[in-house]
Each structure stands twice: as structure tokens, then as C-alpha cells.
Amino acid sequence: ETGVTQTPRHLVMGMTNKKSLKCEQHLGHNAMYWYKQSAKKPLELMFVYSLEERVENNSVPSRFSPECPNSSHLFLHLHTLQPEDSALYLCASSHTRTSGLNEQFFGPGTRLTVL
């Protein structure tokens, strides 16, 4: 596989469920990102990992918990979500500053619906 992949593509969950979103990149990048895209809002950066270390957390509620076990994989663990968390969750990856150009490459997203 090439590029950035995300699974599942669609997820419906209740407010008491626990689920995880998975992202995998095959581009040799060493930085990964989670974004939230809600209707009529700009993309919101949630988390940034560089070399598997979390370097940014944009005031995201604790019901979202990221995990980056290695530079190719990124997870977003979800628990006790609210209906307003329904959105498209996008994963992206890039080189870090010292290793290459800075455009981010995005996955197709997971469309999350919280009932």
C-alpha cells in the first residue's frame, strides 16, 4: 500500500462505547497528525507527533487519547464521546524540518457518528 491509510472509513458508536481509529503511513515520514473536520469549520489540529513523541495537544478533551507506537502508525482512542464529536477525522504525515519538505499528506479520513 502507498500513502496514508485510515481504518475504519466509517464508524458509528454510542456514547458509552470505546473504539479506536487507526492511521498508517508508508511514506517514510517521521511526523504524524490528527485533525478534526466538522461541517462549516476549519480543519482543527488535534495532536502532533514527531519521532513518536507527542509535541502538540491543542486543548483536546481527554475522551480523545492518541497513541503513536512507531513512526508509521498513529491511533486515536475514543471513549465516552458526545454527539458533537461526530466529524471526519483526518490523519496526516510529513517529514520533520530537518529531513525534508513540509507538505502534509492526508489519509481519506474516518467519518465518525456518535449517537
- Which residues here bind another protein, judged by CB under 8 A? 31, 33, 40-43, 45, 48, 50, 55-56, 88, 90, 92, 94, 96-98, 101-109, 111
Instruction: Write the CA distances from 80 to 2, 84, 87, 103, integer angstroms.
Output: 33, 12, 15, 33
**Closer by beta carbon to another protein, 50 or else 80:** 50
Contacts of 94 (CB under 8 A, 6+ apart): 29, 31, 33, 100, 102, 103, 104, 105
Min dist CB 80 to another protein, Å, is: 26
Min dist CB 61 to another protein, Å, is: 20
Min dist CB 103 to another protein, Å, is: 5
**Closer by beta carbon to another protein, 9 or else 18:** 9
**Closer by beta carbon to another protein, 87 or else 114:** 87
Amino acid at position 41, single letter: K
